[in-house]
Amino acid sequence: MIDKWFKNDLQSIYANHSVAVFIDESGDAEFLLKTVKGEFTIHQANSEVEELHVKYLIEKAQPTHEKFLVYTRSKKDELKFIREYCETCGCLEIRYLQNYIKDKVHQTLNLNINLPKEELLAAAKVSVGKDSTYWMDLSHKGATEIFDLNKELLPFVHDPDTYSKEKYDAQLRETFYRKVNDLLGQLFPVVEN
């Protein structure tokens, strides 16, 4: 579901402009880039040199009907060469992903969600491709609904290394292991990467 919110926010910028800047100060929302891969030309700019290079690439491509998404972890007031795009085209600024998620759940579903940051970020990653019922269940039933362990437990137990490494990033794997261990009633061992 978070992928739909993200795309809608970008589409509101692209309705009038060909360039959008995605500011992700914490870096927690970078996974959202995968949800729009192939829809837009994505450039990353996390330094002045990268900003200048991205501006050059975008200006060189003009005139075009292509849509550009510039991703940066820099604060808006620290931007140099791509700040112009923020001011004239628009930007999607996600300072804290957990606040973005809570706001979107409240705006779209009129629900409040109260989970710790790590569980909320894990839920956001799991929600990609799901509909609003995922967030409704999570809001009503709590963190136990982040993963559908009824569907995921058997494939995981059958081949834990392959299943979790192919499906989840390191942060999400740790949360998944915690939930599996909670279900099994065991203590969570620290997993070293």
User: Does residue 151 have a pLDDT over 80?
Assistant: no
Question: What mean pLDDT comes out for the span 80-94?
Answer: 92
Whole-number average pLDDT of the chain? 85
Shared-domain flag, residues 71 and 110: no
Q: Indicate the residue among 40, 72, 95 that finishes a domain.
A: 95
Residue 89 · residue 41 · CB < 8 Å: no
For residue 193, being part of any structural domain is answered with no
User: Does residue 187 have a pLDDT over 60?
Assistant: no
How many whole angstroms separate alpha carbon 72 and alpha carbon 49?
Answer: 12
Question: What mean pLDDT comes out for the span 147-153?
Answer: 71
User: Does residue 146 have a pLDDT over 90?
Assistant: no
SS3 95: coil
Question: What mean pLDDT comes out for the span 67-82?
Answer: 94
For residue 111, being part of any structural domain is answered with yes
User: Does residue 130 have a pLDDT over 90?
Assistant: no
> Could you tell me the residue range of the domain that residue 110 belongs to?
98-184
Number of domains within the chain: 2
Amino acid 192: pLDDT: 61
Burial per residue of 54-88, b for 16 or more beta-carbon CB atoms within 10 angstroms, e otherwise: bbeebeeeeeeeebbbbbbbbebeebebbbebbee
For residue 16, being part of any structural domain is answered with yes
Shared-domain flag, residues 106 and 152: yes
